[in-house]
Structures are given as C-alpha cells and as structure tokens.
C-alpha cells in the first residue's frame, strides 16, 4: 500500500513559493503505483488517488482491518534551515509499538487482521495475555528487521540520484506507522524548503526517478530475501 501523505484541507508542509507538500506526495505516489503495477511481484493500492482529505485514523484503520503486506508512506520534508536537503526513511520505534500491542491485548473489541497462523494462536489463547503479547512482540521484531533491511535497499538506490539526509532509518512514534499487523516505512523524499531540491521535486522526471528508486529497492529486497516473507 502506497500512502501519499496529507491531502485536501491538510496541505502538509508549504514552502515560501507556495508549493504544497501534498501535491508532490501524490505525484510520486501515483508514479510509484504505476511502476509497481507493471511488475508481477506487486499489487499496489493507494490510500488516496486524488487531492482528498483522509484522516490518519482512517488510513491506519484500513491497514489494521485489511491484508496489507507492506505500507510505504510518501512525504516531503521541511526545515527552517533552508540549506538542509536530502531524503530520509522513518520507521516506528519500539516503545510506540509495544504500547500499541498492549492496547490491542487490553481492548478486546478492536478487530485487527492478522495472517492466519497468528490469528489462530490468538484465538486459541484468548485469555493467555502473556502468550498473545509474546507472539505480537515477536512479529513486531520481524517487521522491524524487514523495515531496516528494506530501507538499506532503498538507500542504495537513492544514493544514485540524490543526497541522503541520514544514512540509516530514523525511529519515531508516528500514527501512520502504528498498525501492529503491517510492516511500514515513511519516506521523506526531500526538502521542499531547500530551493534546489524543491525545484527538482516539482519535475515529473525527478518524481519518476524517486518512484523508480523505491521500486528497485523493493524489487531487490524481495528477490534477495524471499524466505523472510
Ligand atoms: Zn508530510
């Protein structure tokens, strides 16, 4: 699932030339979807196909209730320091995910889609909270390994076309990355507050290059680590 960040009444970051982040996110998201669609390895869907507003809760609810193998949220960065530029990747931190897992175990009403084997264990052990937590913690550890590994593959491709703001994934507590049933990363494609970078980000050519770099990262990851999934 590709999630072009923001949309509608939520423009995301805006630079001093009036460029809105939401527009760049959508253009890169659609390009990525089109590229992935041409590959038999992937079945891409978007959280938004146009300039519509979708709350973060709605986005994460969809992920929690459906079978999404992997989520990529697309954003563009901003900073008061105009010289700052480059792409970065964000993944969820452990504290946030352990909190989400605890909340899920305590809140019996919330329905979350899990793969069959996980679902079976949870069903059979309805009142064994310790076991349920252990299973979900182990699953999260696997997801995080995947996120870190996949980020490396995407960084390899990004290096060929842009500067990296950070060489390793950053950890954060973000709503869009908080679904406990789905591995997910957020990509900041570049800074719209940097004059040269926003100039590039506006062009179809560069948007395509970014989308293609993400695609190649995904493809190489899944080809080299098919057993882990
Ligand atoms: Zn954003």
Task: Give the pLDDT mean for 29-58.
Answer: 97
Segment holding 185, helix H or strand E: strand 184-191
| Contact (CB, 8 A) for 16 and 10 | no
Hey, what domains does the chain have and what are their CATH numbers? 2-228 (3.40.630.40)
> For the segment 75-105, what is each residue's pLDDT rounded down to a tens digit?
999 999 999 999 999 999 999 999 999 999 9
How close is the Cα of 106 to the center of ligand 1, in Å?
31
User: What is the distance in A from the centroid of ligand 1 to the CA of 21?
Assistant: 7
Cβ partners under 8 Å of residue 164, min gap 6: 86, 87, 88, 155, 158
Q: Which helix (H) or strand (E) holds 153?
A: helix 129-161
The tokens describing 59, both together, are 């986005």
Which residues are within 5 Å of ligand 1 (an ion), measured at CB? 5, 12, 75
Residue 229 — pLDDT band, cuts 50, 70, 90? very low
Q: How far is the CA of 10 from the centre of ligand 1 (A)?
A: 10
| pLDDT at position 167 | 84
**Alpha-carbon span 111 to 133, nearest angstrom:** 16
The pTM of the full predicted model, rounded to 2 decimals, is 0.96
Q: Which two tokens stand for residue 138?
A: 């182990």
């Amino acid at each position: 699932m590709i999630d072009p960040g923001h949309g509608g009444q939520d423009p995301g970051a805006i630079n001093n030339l009036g460029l809105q982040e939401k527009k760049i996110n959508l253009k890169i998201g659609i390009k990525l979807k089109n590229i992935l669609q041409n590959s038999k390895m992937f079945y891409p869907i978007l959280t938004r196909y146009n300039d519509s507003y979708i709350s973060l809760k709605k986005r994460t609810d969809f992920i929690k209730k459906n079978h999404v193998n992997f989520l990529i949220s697309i954003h563009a960065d901003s900073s008061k320091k105009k010289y700052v530029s480059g792409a970065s990747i964000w993944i969820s931190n452990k504290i946030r995910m352990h909190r989400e897992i605890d909340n899920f175990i305590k809140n019996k009403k919330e329905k979350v889609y899990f793969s069959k084997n996980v679902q079976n264990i949870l069903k059979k052990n309805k009142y064994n909270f310790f076991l349920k937590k252990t299973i979900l913690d182990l699953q999260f550890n696997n997801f995080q390994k995947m996120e870190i590994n996949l980020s490396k593959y995407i960084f390899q491709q990004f290096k060929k076309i842009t500067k990296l703001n950070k060489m390793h994934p950053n950890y954060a507590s973000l709503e869009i990355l908080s679904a406990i049933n789905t591995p997910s990363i957020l990509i900041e494609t570049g800074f719209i507050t940097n004059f040269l970078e926003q100039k590039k980000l506006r062009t179809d050519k560069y948007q395509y290059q970014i989308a293609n770099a993400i695609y190649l990262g995904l493809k190489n990851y899944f080809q080299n680590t098919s057993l882990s999934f």
